[in-house]
Chains A and B, each alone.
Chain A
Amino acid sequence: MAAHSAVLSASKIMNPFWVGRLGNTAKVFGTTLIRHRNKTSLTPPPAKYGGRHTVTLIPGDGIGPELLNHVREVFRFTCVPVDFEMVNVNSALETDDDMNNAITAIRRNGVALKGNIETKHTLPASVKSRNNVLRTSLDLYANVMHCQSLPGVQTRHKNIDIVIIRENTEGEYSSLEHESVSGVVESLKIITRNNSIRIADYAFKLARERGRRRVTAVHKANIMKLGDGLFLQCCREVASGYPDITFDSMIVDNTTMQLVSKPQQFDVMVMPNLYGNVVSNVCAGLVGGPGLVPGANYGRDYAVFETATRNTGKSIAEKNIANPTAMLLASCLMLDHLNLNDYASLIRNAVLTTMNETRLHTADLGGQGTTSEVVQSVMRVIQSKGQFTAEL
């Protein structure tokens, strides 16, 4: 283990150009070293207590609690070896105790599944967004969202397959604002070389792992010459170490225009925080809406899974009309992360099969189905595969 960490630290300091090339010489230290170097995914926490994993569950606000209850229902039914440690966060309080408990629990378990925590605008500006605090405290630097056209969902554009990698900890979300003169607010957007190199490296490694051919950096460097200019420069530097992958860049306004007219041209996209927010929502809209796309936040040591577009859905909470697809698919990403790939594939296939049934589509897809109908259908499909299950 000491040898692993020593070589890993050395590789982080070294020029990215050499990192890929060292992979071959590292074989002499053992195959586990190559796994650390070449994979974007961190080693998941090992199973304990009879092969069962413990995952922190943060229900959040709005539709989060009911959707996560459905996830637990499906997991119980499928006999998935995962136990949930539930930690509630009350968004109405100004104190940080709830958040500290949640962060400690995630540090303990290594993995979490969460709903969105509402950021109340009535609280003073000094109270930061709790979701943001969670991401920065755990240094979950990469937000990964895979937008794919689903066969059962009718959309204007077809054959979309885009992976969006969004820097998750800095940029416009640094929460650094001040009002030196009344009526004039200054907001700081922070772009650092370290974090830009880190996210670009993550993007290229992921592209290589998944056999993707092209990475596009999205920026506004013509206006923010220093900030986005630095980000772009870091992406170019990292790109030079991956000659097998095509790298190009596109300004964010042109990107959104191209996304709504020809989204099939995009493969992997990497970008700073705010543009990632906008672009990921555009892509979610293109494939059928926020109810369909799962998201994952990866750091060096922890991983947190949630819906990609992070909506609280207050207006549809507890009405049994929310689309459970995104949260169920997010739980499948979590199972993949825990190396429980068989369970992940089983639940994922059941969800996608259910999506093909138009009469089960929920309101966001233009249908009349309820959340519980969709979940029941998913469980029926799982049962029909002959898997050992609990009672329906």
Chain B
Amino acid sequence: SPVPCRSASSLALILFRAFLTCPDACVFQMVQDPTQFDVLVMPNLYGDILSDLCAGLIGGLGVTPSGNIGANGVAIFESVHGTAPDIAGMDLANPTALLLSAVMMLRHMGLHDHADKIQTACFDTIRDKKVRLKSLLGGLQYFCSFKSKFQTMKAACL
């Protein structure tokens, strides 16, 4: 029910907008202008659909981090792409999704400095067009191996 959401938001002074209670109106707005959204909360099935939709908007599952939070701080962080057995062990996989999930984990543990360092390094490496990996959605040109990307990031961290 929406009541607990509303009372929580009034406590935290966060703007709460009961967005049209239906996922259909939300999705076409998401497709046309996703920047209008900040945080979205929803039940399981809509979450499944909308999270993949948003992942598609930002570049695919190869760059999308995720975390599953439970009671008492128990949490599992994971990338949500597949196991890609065809490229396993070949130094071709995109590490971004799992790395950013690890960054989420560090924030959950309160290690914000380390999280910021790794995240900045990751974004800088992606921005640097010389080092690009095969995206899990397909399309990006393969230039360098994972090792060189890692080295670039390591240098950026220090």
Contacts and interface: CB of A to CB of B under 8 A. Distances in A.
A278 B49 contact: yes
Nearest to A253: B52
Contacts, number: 69
Interface in B50-90: 50-53, 55-57, 60-61
A125 interface: no
B37 interface: no
Q: Is the interface of A mostly helix, strand, loop or mixed?
A: helix
Contacts of B53: 253, 256-257, 259-260, 282
Given A220-B45, A285-B29, A258 B56 contact: yes
A104 interface: no
A175 interface: no
Interface residues of A, number: 26
B27 A253 contact: no
B31 interface: yes
B156 interface: no
Contacts of A259: 53, 56
Interface stretch (B18-26, B91-99, B123-131, B141-149): B18-26
Contacts of B31: 260, 282, 285-286
A290 interface: yes
Interface in B17-48: 21-25, 27-32, 45, 48
A195 B51 CA distance: 30
A387 interface: no
A277 B22 CA distance: 10
B55 A257 contact: yes
A330 B56 CA distance: 30
A252 interface: yes
Contacts of A257: 52-53, 55-56, 60-61, 137
Q: Which bracket fits the contact residues of B?
A: 20 to 34
Interface string A261-273: 1000000000000
A280 B28 CA distance: 9
A136 interface: no
- Count chain B CB atoms within 10 A of each CB in A253, A259, A280, A311 and give the residue with the most: A253
Contacts of A290: 28
Contacts of B52: 253-254, 256-257
A281 B57 contact: no
A309 interface: yes
Contact of A281 (B24, B45, B51): B24
A97 to B, nearest CB: 27
A121 B21 contact: yes
A259 B53 CA distance: 8
B23 A261 contact: no
A280 B50 CA distance: 14
Nearest to B52: A253
B25 A281 contact: yes
Given A260-B53, A285-B27, 10 more contacts: A220-B45, A252-B49, A254-B52, A257-B53, A257-B60, A278-B23, A278-B49, A282-B53, A309-B25, A311-B25
16 contacts: A253-B49, A254-B52, A256-B27, A256-B50, A257-B53, A257-B137, A259-B53, A259-B56, A261-B56, A278-B23, A278-B49, A281-B25, A281-B27, A284-B28, A285-B29, A290-B28
Please name the 7 residue pairs, one residue from A and one from B, whose CB atoms are nearest each other, closest first.
A285-B31, A285-B28, A257-B56, A253-B52, A260-B56, A256-B53, A281-B24
